[in-house]
Amino acid sequence: MKLPVSLFVFALLFSFLLATSAHTHEDFLQCLTLHSGNDSISKVIYTSSNSSYSSVLESSIRNTRFSTPSTPKPLVIVTPLGVSQIQEILSCAQKHGMQVRVRSGGHDYEGLSYVSPVPFAILDMINLRNISVDVENSFAWVQSGATLGELYYKIAEQSKTLGFPAGVCPTIGVGGHFSGGGYGTILRKYGLAADNVIDAHLIDVRGRFLDRKSMGEDLFWAIRGGGGASFGVIVAWKIKLVPVPSTVTVFTVNKNLEQNATKLLHRWQYVADKFDKDLFIRVLLTGVNSSQEGKKTVQAAFNSLYLGGKDKLLPLMQESFPELGLVSEDCTEMSWIQSILYFAGFPSGQSLDVLLNRTLTVISYKAKSDYVENPIPEAGLEGIWQRFYEKEAESAVLILSPYGGRMSEISESAIPFPHRAGNIYKIQYLVYWAEEGTEATERHVNWIRRLYAYMAPYVSKSPREAYINYRDLDIGANNEGNTSYRQASIWGTKYFKNNFKRLVHVKTVFDPTNFFRNEQSIPPISH
């Protein structure tokens, strides 16, 4: 039987690619072994023939959407023990055309730290997680492979009155989190994690080990919020620790539609960004069963941290948001580190040791983000409720995080993260599902896309802003080959607004060949 010419050409091309990737793979491994000298890099190299390969690969996969049999797998995973091994990996990868994806915690929402459409290696930072805290001078050095939980634990071990303004999920890796901005419950008081980075250690495309002074202010600016994977491998960060009171207060007040949730949420939009800086009240929206048999309703959970005791919080709420009807019984006083456990969803009385646990339940999900500059009218909120009644929304959540306070004081161009004054709050849309298969994935992804389309009139415009740590390939992606500035600016201006131009300039200077790249990395300007 004769093969059609086109099929024959495709078969040839496919076998050529397979042969090329195998060749690249062998050459890359050989290069690493030759270069390693006495530091025995072979102990931290995993290929598919290694019995630990699957467990190392899956150890930091947080989204089963990117853990299917058809998901592209790395040819090699390397878990370096130090700077010299990272330098060797980068050198050999460039020599032999191997794409490298850097993974710290594996929380990239589109799996870009451990999936690639071309033959690739994962540089996994799991072994680089040292943390040293200097209480006297209120700073810490933290390596990129550490998790936020490990960082919080280490700070709390040495001080009850120092904290850090990073995220609420303890299994998130420091490297990606800081690279994209990173925020948590004290952002209104202290800004983002990246706003509080004061130095960093980075290995650039040329294999140089750089700190803030030797990398210069342009590159130091770019790595604090410009997204991971564009400028080099950041090994460690020096962060400024911030004062927290010995007693903080938390509360969660749940209201469903029958309990006036629509009017309360409408009112919250007018006050949430104007509260005292010490007060953070976010809202979590979920679909729940109604008290009426067989009916659904929507619940708004007003979830709050106050940096102080309830004696000050209650009069403050009475003055700023009396409609919520907060009473003393709703409030719990605790230490700041206990509030980290509270927001992470751990039951009260849980040991702080849970912060050191890097494993978490893995499920499929899709996320998106938006910024709100003007309050959404009640009719607009009611349109959201309708979408919560659909079957795919069973495990969906919208998280509304207020801005204002310190976030409004920091300039849009201070770091690449531009979402500052003028934003009342940010929305994170999340939909989860446990069913396997492409049909289930399509249904749930389509649900969140329909909701996102519905929200267009109510959120920021030109550009419709998005948060890079809630990565979303729907808003635009690079070509694997040569991405033009124009193509990258489709997604780049949504994440970075006017800062995108400066990021491209920094990329062109420090990585002109575009070695560090993924589907949403900053491109250099081609010469």
Q: What is the 3-state secondary structure (H, E, C) of 376-401?
A: CCHHHHHHHHHHHCCHHHHHEEEEEE
Catalytic residues: 470
Q: Which residues contact 120 (CB under 8 A, 6 or more apart)?
A: 72, 74, 75, 98, 99, 100, 101
Question: Helix or strand or coil: residue 155?
Answer: helix
| CA-based radius of gyration for the chain | 24
Q: Beta strands 162-163 and 131-134: pairing type?
A: unpaired
DSSP for 321-361 reads -GGG---GGGEEEE-HHHHHHHHTTPPTT--GGGGG-----
Q: Which residues contact 448 (CB under 8 A, 6 or more apart)?
A: 366, 367, 368, 396, 429, 430, 431
CA dihedral over 450, 451, 455, 461, signed as positive or negative: negative
Q: Looking at the chain, how many residues does it have?
A: 527
Q: Alpha carbon of 43 to those of 79, 124, 153, 285, 314: distances in Å?
A: 9, 14, 29, 47, 57
How far, in Å, CA of 249 to CA of 456, rounded?
A: 36
Q: If we measure between CA atoms, which residue out of 300, 233, 235, 230 comes closest to residue 265?
A: 300
Task: Read off the amino acid at residue 401.
Answer: S
Q: What angle do CA 339, 345, 349 make, to 5 degrees?
A: 60
Task: Read off the amino acid at residue 45.
Answer: I
